[in-house]
Structure 1
Amino acid sequence: MKLTPRSTSTRLALAVMASLLLAFVLLGAGVYYAVSTLLLQDARELVRTDSAGLVDLYRENGRAELVEELRRRVDAPEDPDAVYMLAKPDGAVIVGTYPALPSHRPGARWIEFTEDARAGPRRNGNDPRVVAHLQPLADGSTLLTGLRLRSQERFLALMQRTALVALVVAATLGALIGWLTSRWVSHRLSSLDATAERVGGGELALRVPLDGSDDAFDRLARRFNGMLDRIEDLLGGVRHATDHIAHDLRTPLTRLRNRLEELRRRPDAAGRDVELDAAVAETDQLLQSFGALLRLARIEAQAPAQGEPALDLASLVGDAVDLYLPSAADRMIDLRAQLQPCQVHGDGDQLFQLLVNLLDNAIKYAPAGSEVDVTLQAVAGEAVLHIDDRGPGIPEADRERVFDRFQRLEAHRGSAGVGLGLSLVRAIVHRHGGHVLLLDRAPGLRVRVVLPLA
């Protein structure tokens, strides 16, 4: 049977209470040790001073005067806790509080023992404790000067009783603080739990409220809201893509079906090859569309590329430019490149796909006999890529819309393509921690891609 509480709030409350109790016990033990040590040092100082006075009396007036003084102090003590003894070299007591010297190590100067006033010195925890100083005298006798620690022990006993009461108070206070802490944690997490439950029920627009404290719970709520924003964007992209698939692919599918139906009805072979070629072209375009959609979905589902190996972006751009030099030459377009070395973290295949898509668009829409300029430079810790053409450009109102799936300008609907190139570009740039902008070059279009340097 497991006794460990399963509730995290209960474990948190117990941990808080245990921490408070442990801190209290450690603090109390430290204070008790410090106070007891200080009291013992004070008692020893009193004993040392008293012993020094008696030794001076012995040196000035001899043993007889010392015996007389000790007998006076024992018979009529000024301090009832003071202890005095004078013993011969053989241990026989000449005068003193006890009939015999307490047992001690040879050569010891300080001893501690407990006493029983009726039976003499005895190790008994219920009797007062005595701290005593042994002073050898010139004639071989031994002077014992001591002090009963009754007042010190009463003070320490009072401290112990007070500490026990304080321990009970601390345990109660710790339990209360632990309970309040667990309630506060549960309350802070309840909004997160309630939001997650409602979002799971379909309320995708719901977000966790923030209190602006920027503590761990507020940061968790912010991360949770960011995750919900990402999920909503992805689901919106799926719905958007589905709508465009239904709209944009319905026409080529209808044409493909009509051509196949026409071939089935045609009795002779005249014109059949032309129709078959057109049907195959329609099929290729559909396959290209679905392939681009799959690539786009995989890229959007991948983790950020900051953990990828570093690569030379200038080398990739140079390879892409070399790939399109023949196409540009066919249309008498001057494809020029000015590249600075730039190291970025990322997937080389995806970055090359990004460059291919952008160069393909630039050469496709640039007028024959014009130029396309490609520049790459490192600016303030970022790799900045510009691809400039002299084509018709994109109206400012459409520059964000063209990044959506299957979005094509009306002027370009007759040209080859499925409307996913710029969507792929944006997905690859975002995965690599950058951003892409479409700017007016007047005339023409400037595409700016910014990626963080490695």
Structure 2
Amino acid sequence: MTGPLRSTSTRLALAVMGAFLLAFVLLGAGVYVAVSTLLLQDARELVRTDSAGLMQLQRDGGRAALVQELRDRLDAPDDPDAVYALIGADGRVEVGDVPALHAGRGVRWTTFELAGDAVPGDGTQSRRVLAQLQPLPNGETLLTGLRLQSQDRFLALMLRTALVALAVAATLGALAGWLTSRWVSHRLGHLDRTAARVGGGELGLRVPLDGSGDAFDRLGRRFNAMLDRIEELLGGVRHATDHIAHDLRTPLTRLRNRLEDLRHRSGATPAERAALDGAVQETDHLLTTFGALLRLARIEAQPPAGEGPELDLSALAADAAELYTPIGAERSVRLALSLEPALVRGDRDQLFQMLVNLLDNALKYAPEGSEVGLSLHVGEAAVLRVDDGGPGIPEADRERVFDRFQRLESHRGTPGSGLGLSLVRAIVHRHGGRIELIDRAPGLRVQVTLPLAGAPGRIAPAEPLE
């Protein structure tokens, strides 16, 4: 099954339409058979009554009276649909104009076609005749019949009406299926959009409930309970980490100051000074990590920045590039800029921190003599891209690297705390944007999409790969 038929909504719509049409066809067929049977029974009753009257005439007046009556009725018929004939013992038609029929023994019913004039609006030249064959004592057979053209016209009209009704039913079925699928999609859409935005970092979102208590409402309630539990667990971990960072920052600062005092005291040997230098560097690294943790906690606790001041993202990008151009030159890595003016709203310092972290990562992993691209283009949103020619990130790890302290095995030897991309994602989400990691083969592209200053709302999360 390919194309649109993969969609559950499409299949649901087709199922509803199919069930609707099947029920209509079964009902229509039942009505058609019932009406056809009823009309045939009425025709048989009329023929049976007429035949009984003629047989009584034959018994009372003999063959001559019967023949005269048949000729009178054929010459001046009271019922134009009535058919009469007298068939001899040898099978020849003695009275009437009907095809030769085999009489057989006993009373029996037969149906045959009788040529006749076309009826206006009815394109057929022949008519069905329902007839009863009644044997007479002298070996002849009395045929009493009834043209079924009225019944056939009624059934044909009924069939044409049924076909029109079937077309209407198909349209109504398709409409009912479409409305059903739209209703189901609408109910599931809340769940899908909430899951996508929660996956994008908006952990405070919940699925709206309508209080109906149906399956969708119960599913939304369970989903919200699950999100509450996840937010509670993540909040506990985050708070524990933040408290640890806050509580250890002061003693680490004291420790660093004491190590600095020891390093500057006279009488320390060169080996002791080297050891103290290493200890001070490790302490500085710990303080930097704890500082990043506290910054991350503050950013995540802040409200969305959509109402912040208007600023030019291209100017911030140019400043960040100017800051990192000398750092790249030390490793023969060139920064290539392609910046378009882009007005966004938000926190200038946080957006600058985002740019600095992205450029720092790109320059850190870019091979010597390569190029790091920084581009900013404007369409429906501001799209910032940072491209490098480094080892890249495997697809399976592209979501994991945004978590705190997550570092790939191949990157363990490089300096860093594993909080850079966590900070970047927190800043992007606070500004209503989206961040994606895209393989460049070789290298990695970090793409940040931010809403423009005049555009309300948030950028939709990226669609998951199938």
Scaled by the length of structure 2, the TM-score of the pair is 0.48
Scaled by the length of structure 1, the TM-score of the pair is 0.49
